[in-house]
């Protein structure tokens, strides 16, 4: 699956929160076309690492590169426009918007018309808005929420909100999609469907996926590569089978 050219690479990233060292000199790569998992015990620094990659958490040290281009000093929305888009562990749907509006917001940077076009309802606005709507519907179709398009996002059940976050992220047509515990709170059946969906994101949409997840069946079932974080440092990294056999990893997970 992987052609091993790193789409995104993090080198020697360090993040501290006051006295707490959340990440210490972490190197992490995601190869193009893969699903690359990031696992580790609670508090290992997984979410913090996603924050550093997307620019939402300030790193004291280290670089982030996207296809060789240094993006360390770019703000989050610029990184998003370059193709680095994420979902959130604690759901961050736009609760007071409809499901469709949520996904259309995901395409914010792709809707090609200006403020004045919107106010004057120019043909450019109409064309842009129509295209945005159609693309958003397509993504809702993709995650299976099309029939809920006019429901307020806050009224969706938990599992559907997770899918909505995914649709919103995918709507931005990212190159790298970072999912933060997409299976948290889902039942086994929903998790199984999610596994299929993530594979389709990679295979059908051609989007590289970075997956933070605690569900080991999910991780080992769909990942092309796995990196293990523990106490803010990389414990191991490699193909899933090798990770599962790694005694350090087993110790880190069973040790507590």
Partner 1 sequence: MRPWYARNLAKAAFFATALFLAPFFLPNEYYINILILGGINALIALGLNLLLGYAGQISLGHAAFFGLAAYATAVATTRLGLPIPVGMGLGVSLSALVAWLIGMPTLRLRGHYLAMATLGFGIIVHIVMNETVEVTGGPSGFVGIPRLALLGFSFDSDRSYYYLVAAVLALAALFSLNLIDSRVGRALRAIHTSESAAQTAGVDIAGYKLFVFVLSAAFAGVAGVLYAHFLCFVAPSSFGFHFSVQLVVMVVLGGMASVWGAMAGAFFLTALPEALRGFEEVDILIYGAILVACVMYMPMGMAGAAAGVWRRIGRLRRGRVPGQGEGGHVG
* Residues in 66-85 at the binding interface with ligand ATP, rule: CB under 6 A: none
Lateral strand order in the sheet of 225-230: 84-86, 176-180, 208-212, 35-39, 225-230, 233-238
Reading the block at residue 16, the tokens are 């501290």
Regarding beta strands 176-180 and 84-86, do their DSSP bridges make them parallel or antiparallel, or are they unpaired?
Answer: parallel
Reading the block at residue 201, the tokens are 């994101």
Exposure string for 55-70, b = 16+ CB within 10 A, e = fewer: bebebeebebbbeeee
Interface with partner 1 includes 253 (CB under 8 A)?
Answer: no
Reading the block at residue 90, the tokens are 């604690």
Q: Which is nearer to ligand ATP, 40 or 62 (CB)?
A: 40
Size of residue set near partner 1 by CB under 8 A: 45
Mask 102-141, x = binds Mg ion (CB under 5 A)? Answer: ----------------------------------------
In the Cβ-directed half-sphere of 228, how many Cα atoms lie within 13 Å? 23
* Residues in 95-124 at the binding interface with partner 1, rule: CB under 8 A: 95-98, 101, 104-111, 113, 115, 117-121
Q: Which is nearer to partner 1, 55 or 240 (CB)?
A: 55
Among 46, 79, 107, 148, binds ligand ATP (CB under 6 A): 46
Interface with partner 1 includes 155 (CB under 8 A)?
Answer: yes
CB of 243 to partner 1, least distance (A): 28
User: How deeply is 76 buried, as exposed, middle or buried, from its count of CB atoms within 10 A (0-12, 13-18, 19+)?
Assistant: middle
* Residues in 169-198 at the binding interface with partner 1, rule: CB under 8 A: 169, 172
User: What secondary structure does DSSP assign to 160-218, as a single string?
Assistant: HHHHHHHHHHHHT--SEEEEESTTTT--HHHHHHHHHHHHHHHHTS--EEEEE-S-HHH
Among 8, 13, 22, 145, binds ligand ATP (CB under 6 A): 22
Interface with partner 1 includes 132 (CB under 8 A)?
Answer: yes
CB of 41 to ligand ATP, least distance (A): 7
Residue ranges binding Mg ion (CB under 5 A): 47, 89
Q: Which residues bind ligand ATP (CB under 6 A)?
A: 17, 20, 22, 40, 42-48, 89
């Amino acid at each position: 699956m992987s052609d091993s050219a790193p789409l995104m690479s993090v080198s020697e990233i360090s993040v501290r929160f006051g006295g707490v060292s959340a990440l210490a000199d972490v190197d992490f790569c995601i190869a193009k076309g893969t699903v690359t998992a990031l696992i580790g015990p609670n508090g290992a620094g997984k979410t913090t690492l996603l924050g550093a990659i997307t620019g939402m958490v300030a790193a004291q040290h280290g670089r982030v590169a996207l296809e060789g281009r240094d993006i360390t000093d770019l703000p989050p929305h610029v990184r998003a426009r370059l193709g680095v888009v994420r979902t959130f562990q604690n759901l961050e749907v736009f609760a007071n918007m409809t499901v469709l509006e949520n996904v259309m917001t995901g395409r914010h940077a792709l809707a090609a018309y200006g403020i004045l076009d919107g106010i004057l309802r120019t043909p450019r606005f109409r064309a842009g808005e129509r295209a945005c709507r159609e693309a958003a519907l397509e993504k809702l179709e993709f995650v299976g929420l099309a029939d809920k398009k006019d429901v307020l996002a806050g009224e969706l059940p938990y599992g559907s909100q997770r899918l909505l976050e995914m649709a919103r992220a995918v709507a931005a047509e990212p190159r790298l999609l970072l999912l933060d515990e997409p299976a948290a709170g889902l039942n086994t059946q929903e998790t199984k469907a999610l596994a299929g969906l993530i594979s389709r994101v990679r295979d059908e949409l051609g989007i590289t996926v970075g997956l933070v997840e605690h569900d080991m069946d999910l991780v080992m079932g769909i990942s092309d590569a796995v990196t293990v974080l523990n106490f803010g440092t990389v414990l191991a990294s490699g193909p899933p089978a090798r990770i599962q056999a790694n005694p350090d990893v087993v110790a880190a997970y069973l040790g507590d």
